[in-house]
Amino acid sequence: MPLLRTLPVTNPATGSRLRAHAAIEAKEVLDRIEAAHRAFLEWRDQSFADRSQALLKAAKNLLAGKDRYAARITAEMGKPIMQSQAEIEKCAWVCRYYAENGESLLAAERIQLDAAQAQVIARPLGVIYAIMPWNFPFWQAFRAAAPALMAGNGMLLKGAENVPGCSADISEIISAAGVPKGLFSDLPIDISKSPAVIANPLVRGVTLTGSESAGRAVAAEAGAHLKKCLLELGGNDPYLVLADADLSMAAQRCVASRMLCAGQVCIAAKRIIVVDAIYDRFRDLLLKELDPYVMSDPTMPECRLGPIARQDLRDRVHSQVQASVDSGAALIRGGIVPDCDGWWYPATVLEDVKPGMAAFDEEVFGPVVALVRATNTQHALDLAVETRFGLGGAIFSADVENAVQLAAERIDAGCIAVNDFVRSDPRVPFGGTKSSGFGRELGRLGIHEFVNFKSLVFPSGF
């Protein structure tokens, strides 16, 4: 009897092995695709009220098991437990949002024509394949699943291989919420099996949150098979601190953004661009804000900085820091791999960061602050847009009207905050441009991604 292939899981805080999860083979993958399609044929005909009740039940299930699910996140990818609990609460929020607003967001539109009229209606596409990352293993899945299911679609979740327990939990939560059997399933497979899933004619769309390289590969496969595709990829977000900014507030929010999830966030404050007039004062405030971010046990409520999720990821962060220093950046805090078990990396600060350095040009997915000095506002804006990415960004300034105008007209990104850090919200479309991907999740646009807008034209007076 052949041995079952498994997905081994390592606790990043200790380096110890957790319980391995069995991977499924090609026949089981095909069975789950077909089951999802059969369930979709039933689900698409259910009322919005019935779909809403299922999402509300999923929200209830999430909150009832919050402590257990949060512990799973922390064990599998190292997130501090309080952040893991907040992630579960946010998943319940997105379920409630689409349960309460999905029907109105998909309401039919009437258009009067010259001698006729038209009605534009939204209909679900079918089974959606969701390829989701490890940094927010519950949130990323639910922010894709909630609108897709409310619109009447089915979904297959291919979670990251280092968080298989999270993916299995998500499948159980949604399956127990009253949806047809098989409508939502996890696919515990390695990424090399994804092309066959995308190619399957019963799969009608693909959504991916992940790296730029993964996005290019998935987009190529989806394009080859003419499948609708949504990509939320990496970012190298500029946070501009202008001369009239509230520096204490700006330092606190830049640090909070950069250190969340040990810096493993696509929309983190990755390049903090500070005008020369207030640079020294801001740097001192930022260093003080960083003091509480000490590496500690992520299972403890007081933890603010946990480990990096995998050893290869930690090693890449360190190599980017070293490459930046070799190119002329100044290392003023951290930057040393600790001699201990697990995949730890300290809060690190680089200054004198300039274009051409890894910390400026690349996405650094770890707790590394890159300080960039700008001569003035115009120079700060020029530096901000000197990137192939376009996911998020922020501007800190007392002149809110001017900051909003600069954000609207000068920063080429999908999500820009003024006097705050960027965060996703169920009510607001989220996504990027350029190498940060295309399409939008969340809000009205998020539920519109995986529907067919059907135009019906008929005589006036009908």
pLDDT of residue 4: 54
Burial class of residue 191, CB neighbours in 10 A (0-12, 13-18, 19+): middle
- CB neighbourhood size of 112 (10 A): 8
Query: Which of the residues are catalytic?
Result: 232, 266
CA angle 117, 118, 123 (to 5 degrees): 160
Q: Helix (H) and strand (E) counts for the chain?
A: 15, 18
Per-residue pLDDT of the chain (462 residues; tens, 9 = 90+): 344 577 889 999 999 999 888 899 999 999 999 999 999 999 999 999 999 999 999 999 999 999 999 999 999 999 999 999 999 999 999 999 999 999 999 999 999 999 899 999 999 999 999 999 999 999 999 999 999 999 999 999 999 999 999 999 999 999 999 999 999 999 999 888 999 999 999 999 999 999 999 999 999 999 999 999 999 999 999 999 999 999 999 999 999 999 999 999 999 999 999 999 999 999 999 999 999 999 999 999 999 999 999 999 999 999 999 999 999 999 999 999 999 999 999 999 999 999 999 999 999 999 999 999 999 999 999 999 999 999 999 999 999 999 999 999 999 999 999 999 999 999 999 999 999 999 999 999 999 999 999 999 999 877
Rounded Cα–Cα distance for residues 20 and 216 (Å): 30
Structure tokens, 234: 């990496």
Beta partners for 130?
157, 207
CA angle 371, 375, 381 (to 5 degrees): 75
- The answer to whether the beta carbons of residues 351 and 334 sit under 8 Å apart is no
Beta strand 116-124 with 451-459 is antiparallel
Rounded Cα–Cα distance for residues 88 and 443 (Å): 19
The DSSP secondary structure of 83-137, one letter per residue, reads HHHHHHHHHHHHHHHHHHHHHHHT--EEEE-SSEEEEEEEEE-SEEEEE--SSST
Burial class of residue 401, CB neighbours in 10 A (0-12, 13-18, 19+): exposed
pTM over 0.75: yes
